[in-house]
Amino acid sequence: MTHPDISIDLQGDIAVIRLTRGAKRNALSDGLILALRDAFENLPTSVRAAVVDGEGPHFCAGLDLSELQERDAGQGVYHSRMWHAALDRVQNGPVPVIAALHGAVVGGGLELASACHIRVADSTTFYALPEGSRGIFVGGGGSVRIPKLIGVARMTDMMLTGRVYNAEDGERAGFAQYLVPEGTALDKAIELAKRIAQNAPLTNYALMHALPRIAEQSSDHGFFTEALMAGIAQNAPEAKERVRAFLEGRAAKVSKD
Ligand code: 1HE
């Protein structure tokens, strides 16, 4: 059973998960957040990579402000933890996830985008954290994930001053890894997902689960974890076959084109 504000389109080994609440700028109600969690928890095992996009002129307007009723402190904590659990399923779910961005990527929408592994933005994209001017704070993991993309200083500035980054400045600042012409973010994201789906599953697993942890370890621990992950990955039969294929001239060379 899917939620009316979400659709899941299986295209071979790719899943395109779309927010379909365009009339409300894909504002994330509690129901929609839980539906996102369920979608990532229940992806068919045949899926090897996923794309998240949003219907209509904007990727996502963030938290559904109409649901922001009077909560006491405890309820606020539980609400934030619900978002954390859902976006953890995006970041640490079964497969790499690519966000296809356009229009507003603001507040909780930016928190969702930052839980994905790659972000592709079209030229209409803009980024903001209006929490600062709404008198609230991020609650969907933004204070952990967004500084990893753009740094603490930029995030502080955005929240203190309401600064909005356009697509070009946003790409330079580190929000997105790809900047593409208007209307082409989804196509580019699907192209990348198809490429990612061809990787050895253990390589994708290492990039999702080992790399972020290594990046937070001390150098000494990081080198050791890296060595363990390298040993495990190269021991897989698929890795041996891929190396053999290159040595026998059956695999593509690295090319700059
Ligand atoms: C909404 C929301 C929403 C639109 N919650 N209903 N996020 C924000 O502070 C961003 C608020 N939204 C906006 O600034 C603008 O809507 C947009 C720049 C995203 C888009 O503007 P526009 O002119 O294309 O659309 P609109 O006319 O403003 O909105 C269309 C409808 O969507 C309208 O409802 P309608 O019934 O009058 O048609 C809007 O009320 C509705 N809508 N955004 C509820 N966010 C885990 S903590 C995370 C904390 C946060 O995310 S705080 C940031 C919240």
User: Mind listing the pLDDT tens digit for each residue in 75-86?
Assistant: 999 999 999 999
Question: In this structure, are residues 32 and 19 in contact, taking their beta carbons and an 8 Å threshold?
Answer: yes
Options 131, 171, 226, 241, the catalytic residue: 131
Measured in whole angstroms, the distance separating CA 34 from the mean position of its chain's CA atoms is 16
**Ligand 1 pocket test: which of 20, 25, 82 has the largest number of ligand atoms within 8 Å of its C-beta?**
25
Question: In this structure, are residues 83 and 141 in contact, taking their beta carbons and an 8 Å threshold?
Answer: yes
CATH 3.90.226.10 residue window(s) in the chain: 6-197
Q: What is the pTM of this model?
A: 0.97
User: Mind listing the pLDDT tens digit for each residue in 134-189?
Assistant: 999 999 999 999 999 999 999 999 999 999 999 999 999 999 999 999 999 999 99
pLDDT of the residue at 1: 61
Does the C-beta of 146 come closer than 6 Å to ligand 1? no
pLDDT of the residue at 147: 98
Q: Is the pLDDT of residue 69 over 80?
A: no
Which amino acid appears at position 109 of this protein?
A: G
Looking at domain 6-197, does it have CATH number 3.40.50.720? no
Atom of ligand 1 nearest to the CA of 80: 46
Does the C-beta of 63 come closer than 6 Å to ligand 1? yes
**Protein fold of 201-247:** Lyase 2-enoyl-coa Hydratase; Chain  A, domain 2 (1.10.12)
Distance CA 51, CA 74 (A): 34
Q: Is 111 a catalytic residue?
A: yes
Tokens for 128, please give them. 């903001």
Q: Is the pLDDT of residue 249 over 70?
A: yes
Does the C-beta of 24 come closer than 6 Å to ligand 1? yes
pLDDT of the residue at 5: 96
Reported as a pLDDT band with limits 50, 70 and 90, residue 211 is very high
- If you take atom 17 of ligand 1, which residue's CA is the nearest one? 61
Judged by phi (left if over 0) then psi (alpha if -120 to 50, else beta), residue 14 lies in: beta
193-204 mean pLDDT = 96
Give me ligand 1 centre to Cα 27, in Å: 6
Measured in whole angstroms, the distance separating CA 191 from the mean position of its chain's CA atoms is 16
Does the C-beta of 134 come closer than 6 Å to ligand 1? yes
What is the percentage of the chain residues whose pLDDT exceeds 70? 100
Does the C-beta of 27 come closer than 6 Å to ligand 1? yes
What element of type H or E holds 132?
helix 131-134
Residues facing 16 on adjacent strands: 9, 51
DSSP class per residue in 61-73:
--B-GGG-----H
Q: Is 70 a catalytic residue?
A: no
